[in-house]
Amino acid sequence: MQTTGSWYVVLLDSEKSVQCRLRGKIKLQDLDTTNPIAVGDYVIVEQLEESNEFIITEILLRRNYIIRQSPRKEHQRHIIASNIDQFFIVATISQPRTSLGFVDRCIAAAECYHIPVHIIINKKDLLRKKDLTKLEEWQLMYKAIGYPVHVISANDKEDIATLKTLLKDKVTLIAGHSGVGKSTLLNAVNTSLKLKTGKISGKWEKGMHTTTFATLYQIFENTFVIDTPGIKEFSLLHVEPEEVSGYFIDINAFAKSCKYNNCMHINEPECAVLNALENGKLAPARYENYLNIVDNIKSTNYWERK
């Protein structure tokens, strides 16, 4: 399902796309959200008698979903996308430089939403000697905690074949700064896609309704990619500061041994996380990014968060 305002595009089992409206009274999940339907939802549709009109009568239970705080209505959240199989975080070491802060924020969000992560490092053809050292550090760090890292180039046929295999028969959420090569990679996977590439910002959002935060692309039959233009949804503003360490699986592994149950791993006595950091068992970058997310949540007004 893909939305553009009050009309929804539904892909039927027959692979045909139809425009649908929502039935006035619809069975909704018990969620406090501003939008009834999100990109990626599975829905039941009915064709109205003696007409070509379709209506959505039911939304099936979502396996998972990502949300964003509704900008206006306090207490309400906007579901951005649902039923996601995996999350590709596309990063580049240079041109443009992706920060580890961004990568870790995405990973934490993925953990929060229960979505498996793949870290895709693109533009390997541009790597220089000093970039290679950095690349190795990233690979070691993420592989040590169990996240697959794929170092690829849009120009490499084998890499594109690998990417195609990874995407096949799945719904993949994709995130990455503008210019890292998301459109180029998808175009290489399916040459008939013809997504616009280049450096012009905003191109990815083209044609979207302003209240939508995600676009669904069909790459092949049964293979979809969901792109979210903003990165706000990965800022975890809807969670409490105490919950953040739960989304850093490496920190969480040590946190169980902290003296205090409510330890925030900042300056508490007998903190197993701080101990691990001191003994080199925890990557300093990961810890720093954990602290940054906690600080960010703490410094955001409660009503802006909830």
Binding-site size, ligand GDP (CB under 6 A): 17
Nearest approach, Cβ of 150 to ligand GDP (angstroms)? 12
- Cα separation, 262 vs 253, whole angstroms: 15
- Cα separation, 155 vs 82, whole angstroms: 31
Closest to ligand GDP by CB, 55 vs 195, is 195
Report the residue from 105, 123, 265, 286 that binds ligand GDP according to the rule CB under 6 A.
123
Nearest approach, Cβ of 175 to ligand GDP (angstroms)? 10
Identify whether 96 is preceded by a cis peptide bond (ω within 30 of 0). yes
- Which residue number has the CB closest to ligand GDP? 181
Strands (E), 221-276: 223-227
Looking at residues 125 to 144 of the shown chain, list those that interact with ligand GDP (rule: CB under 6 A). Answer: 125-126
- Residue 271 near which of ligand GDP, Zn ion, none (CB within 5-8 Å, type-dependent): Zn ion
* Residue 226, SS3 per DSSP: strand
Mask 193-232, x = binds ligand GDP (CB under 6 A)?
Answer: ----xx----------------------------------
- Residue 228 near which of Zn ion, ligand GDP, none (CB within 5-8 Å, type-dependent): none
Nearest approach, Cβ of 100 to ligand GDP (angstroms)? 18
Nearest approach, Cβ of 142 to ligand GDP (angstroms)? 19
69 and 305 Cβ atoms separated by less than 8 Å: yes
- Cα separation, 286 vs 75, whole angstroms: 31
- Residue 179 near which of ligand GDP, Zn ion, none (CB within 5-8 Å, type-dependent): ligand GDP
218 and 224 Cβ atoms separated by less than 8 Å: yes
**Candidates 67-75, 152-160, 240-248, 259-267 — which segment interacts with ligand GDP by CB under 6 A?**
152-160
- Residue 126 near which of ligand GDP, Zn ion, none (CB within 5-8 Å, type-dependent): ligand GDP
Looking at residues 238 to 277 of the shown chain, list those that interact with Zn ion (rule: CB under 5 A). Answer: 258, 263, 265, 271, 273
- Residue 68 near which of Zn ion, ligand GDP, none (CB within 5-8 Å, type-dependent): none
Using rule CB under 5 A, residue 81 touches Zn ion: no
Instruction: Using the CB atoms, write b or e for 38-74: b if 16+ within 10 Å.
Output: bbbbebebeeeeeeeebbbeebeebebbbbbbbeeee
Report the residue from 38, 108, 110, 154 that binds ligand GDP according to the rule CB under 6 A.
154
Instruction: Using the CB atoms, write b or e for 178-211: b if 16+ within 10 Å.
Output: ebbbbbbbbbbbbeeeebebeeeeeebbeebeee
**Residue ranges of the alpha helices (H) in 256-300?**
272-278, 284-299
160 Cα distance to chain centroid: 21
Q: Specify the pairing of strand 86-91 against strand 117-121.
A: parallel
Looking at residues 61 to 120 of the shown chain, list those that interact with ligand GDP (rule: CB under 6 A). Answer: none
Mask 177-196, x = binds ligand GDP (CB under 6 A)?
Answer: -xxxxxxx------------
Q: Specify the pairing of strand 223-227 against strand 215-220.
A: antiparallel
Residues forming contacts to ligand GDP in the complex (CB under 6 A) are: 122-123, 125-126, 153-155, 176, 178-184, 197-198
Give residues in contact with Zn ion (CB under 5 A): 258, 263, 265, 271, 273
